[in-house]
Homo-oligomer: A and B are copies of this chain.
Amino acid sequence: MEAQFDLTSKVIAIIGGTGKEGTGLAYRWTRAGIKVIIGSRKLEKAQKAVDDLMNLAGNHIDVSGMENAEAARLADIVVLTVPYEAHKVTLESIKAEMSGKIFIDVSVPIAPPKVTRVQMPPAGSALQEAKQILGPEVKVASAFQNVSYTRLLKDEDVGCDILVCGEGRETRDLVLGLVEMMGLVGWDAGPIENSMVVEGLTSILIGINKRFKVEGSGIRITNVNREQAE
C-alpha cells in the first residue's frame, strides 16, 4: 500500500513501556526513525528503560522516559502494554490526556494460572473495555498481541503476522503503516468486535508453546498474495 500518513512525524508513547513487549516495540519503532516516549508509573523506571534501549539500539535513537500521563499528553499515538490486571487503572490514569489521539491496545486478558484458556472481560475484549473507558473522542485499535518480544529484538524476520483491529478503516490503515515501518506484515482484521479473536489467539499460542516446547509460536495468513499485505 502507498503510505497514506506521514508516520515519521508522529510521536508514540508506550504506556507501561518498561516491560518486555514495550521494549520490543520501542526497539523497532525507534530504529525506524519514529520518536518514542516510554511511559511508566515511576519516572526512574522509564529512564532506566531508555538507557537499556539505547544500549540495545544505539544512542542515535529518539527516545525519552516519562511518567505515563505525561507520556500520553505529549504523544500523537498511545500504545498500552501492561499486564491485564493493570489495564483499567492505567487507562483511567491517562484518560484525561487522550482526546483526539489514536490508542493501540496490546493487552491480552489473561488470567493466571489458566493462561491457555480464553477468558474475555464483560466488555467483550480488552480493546472494547478500553473503548468504554476512553470514550468517543479517542480512536482505538489493537495489535501486536501475538508476536513475542524476543523476536522483535532480533534484526530478522519475526516469522509471524500482525492482525490489526480498530475503529474504522482509516485507523486500521494508520496502525498497519506503523506495522510496516517495523518490518512486519500486518492484516486488516476488522472492527473492534473482532479483537476478542486476536487477543484470545494468544492463549491458544501459549498452549501450543507449552505442548511443543517452543517459545514464540505465531500465525501467518495464507492463501492470499502476501505482497498485498500492508
Q: Is the CB of B208 within 8 A of A221?
A: yes
Q: Please classify how large the interface on chain A is, using the bins under 10, 10 to 19, 20 to 34, 35 or more.
A: 35 or more
Contact B220 A208 (CB under 8 A): no
Q: Which residue of B118, B189, B208, B214 contacts A204 across the interface (Cβ within 8 Å)?
A: B189
A193 to B148, CA, bound (A): 23
Selecting from A63-71, A89-97, A222-230, the interface stretch reads A222-230
**A101-140 interface (Cβ within 8 A of B):** 116-120
Q: Name which residue of chain B comes closest to A197, CB basis.
A: B200
Tell me if A11 is interfacial: C-beta within 8 Å of chain B: no
* A190-218 near B? 1/0 per residue, CB < 8 Å: 11011011101101110111011011111
Chain B: CB-nearest residue to A207 = B190
Decide if B196 touches A212 in the complex (CB within 8 Å): no
Does B222 lie within 8 Å of A207, measured CB to CB? no
Of the residues B118, B151, B188, B207, contact of A208 by C-beta under 8 Å:
B188
